[in-house]
Amino acid sequence: MKRYATVCKLDECSKKLEQKIKKELDTFMTYDEDNPELVISVGGDGTVLYSVHKYIHQLDQVSFIGIHSGTLGFLTDYQKDEYMDLVHDIRLDEFKTYNRCLLEVKTHDETYMALNEVRLENNRRSQVLGVYINGDFFETFRGNGLCVSTASGSTAYNKSLGGAVINSGAGLMQLSEIAGIHHNAYRSLGSPLILDWTHIIHLESENFDGSILGIDTLVVDLKGAGSVDISLAKQRARFVQYKRVPYIERLKRAYLSE
């Protein structure tokens, strides 16, 4: 790969790290912010999410890799003290690629993509949602909201909701409740529901006042919308892998090691 761009978190540590990486890469690559082949995220998992959204219309041409400027990341393969390894690996140009599934989220007037998850949330009052799957009525949900995550996002917000962790390569999406209300009058499934690319989740409500749609790091006011449709997108985000970090190792490193 010849052309690269960086997307950097706005703190001093990340900016310094970005400058060091650029200084090295500029000796054998060209910086091209508009038309890069490789996008290097410098920061945290949120920076990787931001990078994918920044280049969401160029997913066919762009590959992503992340370096963490803080402690530990789930979407990043390198730590800050490994930046010369990253430069060395990029120079060697021997890599595998893997695709991360995205969600396609359609409101009445917009279409968004999500790498981690989409959350329909209301913290002001209990949100009533009609949940339809492939056009068939499934349940009426009442509570703070619903989260639909990808396999990549299953270790993020979804995990805090008690959702299952799903191997990041799987083409699956998971519907989880955010503080659902369950008693004799109000009943919804309660447990996370895992679906695949054949499913479309349709969420509708007569009243979206105070509701927001959280799409990874982006927040959209839902007022005015009557429904939201969520499915696995045809397009995927391509990540390069210079070194092998087995998924189970990544899980252990992030959640189980002291």
Catalytic residue among 11, 32, 45, 93: 45
What is the nearest approach in angstroms of ligand NAD to the Cβ of residue 70? 9
Q: Which helix (H) or strand (E) holds 143?
A: strand 136-150
Q: Is residue 216 a contact point for ligand NAD (CB under 6 A)?
A: yes
Q: Is residue 145 a contact point for ligand NAD (CB under 6 A)?
A: no
Q: Which of 18, 77, 89, 117 is close enough to bind ligand NAD by CB under 6 A?
A: 117
Q: Which amino acid is at 40?
A: I
Distances (CA, A) of 134 to 11, 93, 117, 131, 154: 44, 43, 19, 10, 22
Q: Is residue 155 a contact point for ligand NAD (CB under 6 A)?
A: yes
Q: Which helix (H) or strand (E) holds 169?
A: none
What is the nearest approach in angstroms of ligand NAD to the Cβ of residue 159? 7
Nearer to ligand NAD, 127 or 155 (CB): 155
Instruction: Judge whether 34 counts as a catalytic residue.
Output: no
How many chain residues touch ligand NAD (CB under 6 A)?
17
Helix (H, G, I), strand (E, B) or coil at 198: coil
Q: Which of 4, 55, 64, 74 is close enough to bind ligand NAD by CB under 6 A?
A: 74
Nearer to ligand NAD, 29 or 59 (CB): 59
Candidates 28-36, 155-163, 170-178, 179-187; binding stretch for ligand NAD (CB under 6 A): 155-163
Distances (CA, A) of 10 to 60, 97, 235: 27, 28, 29
Beta-bridge mates of residue 118: 148, 215
Q: Which of residues 176-215 bind ligand NAD (CB under 6 A)?
A: none
Q: Residue 223: which of 139, 127, 144, 115 has the closest Cα?
A: 127
Site string for ligand NAD, 84-103 (x = CB under 6 A): --------------------
| Cβ pair 79, 70 in contact under 8 A | no
Q: Residue 2: which of 97, 94, 93 has the closest Cα?
A: 93
Nearer to ligand NAD, 29 or 228 (CB): 228
What is the nearest approach in angstroms of ligand NAD to the Cβ of residue 74? 3
Look up residue 184 and give its DSSP letter: S
- As a whole number of Å, the CA-based R_g of the chain is 20
What is the nearest approach in angstroms of ligand NAD to the Cβ of residue 105? 13
Q: Which amino acid is at 151?
A: A
How far is Cα 129 from Cα 48, in angstroms, rounded to an integer? Answer: 31
Q: Which of 217, 227, 235, 241 is close enough to bind ligand NAD by CB under 6 A?
A: 217
- Contacting positions for ligand NAD (CB under 6 A): 44-46, 49, 73-75, 116-117, 152-153, 155-157, 160, 216-217
